[in-house]
Amino acid sequence: MQLKYLLGLIVLIFSFNTKADLVFSTSAKESLKIPFSQVSASLSYDSLNKAYALNLTFDKKASLALGQFTEKHLNKELITYINKEQVSKATLRSVLGIKSSPPKQQITLIVDNKAVYTQPSIKEETSALKIFIQDQDSAIRYLKHLSETE
């Protein structure tokens, strides 16, 4: 129970504008840099996966950029970095973000048991990515990076 309060406090403390960058890189040596001003973050504990979940929500501009980038790099390795520190690595099996023509239904995707993604419905203009992190200290450090003020 105390862990839930601690995570809630951490989310509250670190929920302002940031200078950190979120970078998606592929095995094809191409990358997409998303300023964190286009992303909001929170941290939770997922008891089913027994891991901390770094929850990232992208605004429309970032969602569209992520959709175009991942559509181009399907079936390649996708590495996620926060402030040049590798956070996750998985094979990209589906488009993340918003495609130019959004789907008519909601889709949930598990990428190599590392990330869960919810595709937006047609009316939504944002998308979300959940990255599971086993180590609590690392999860908190990543959230802090994403929440450093300018």
pLDDT tens digits, 7-52 = 544 444 444 444 567 899 998 789 999 987 888 888 888 888 888 8
Span 2-146 CATH architecture: 2-Layer Sandwich (3.30)
Q: Please report which confidence band the pLDDT of residue 95 belongs to, taking 50, 70 and 90 as the band edges.
A: confident
The pTM of the full predicted model, rounded to 2 decimals, is 0.68
For the record, the structure tokens of 108 come out as 């949930």
Strand positions, DSSP E, the chain: 21-26, 31-35, 39-46, 51-58, 77-82, 85-91, 108-111, 115-118, 127-133
Instruction: Give the Cα separation of 88 and 75 in Å (integer).
Output: 16
pLDDT of 105 > 50? The answer is no
56 vs 122, higher pLDDT: 56
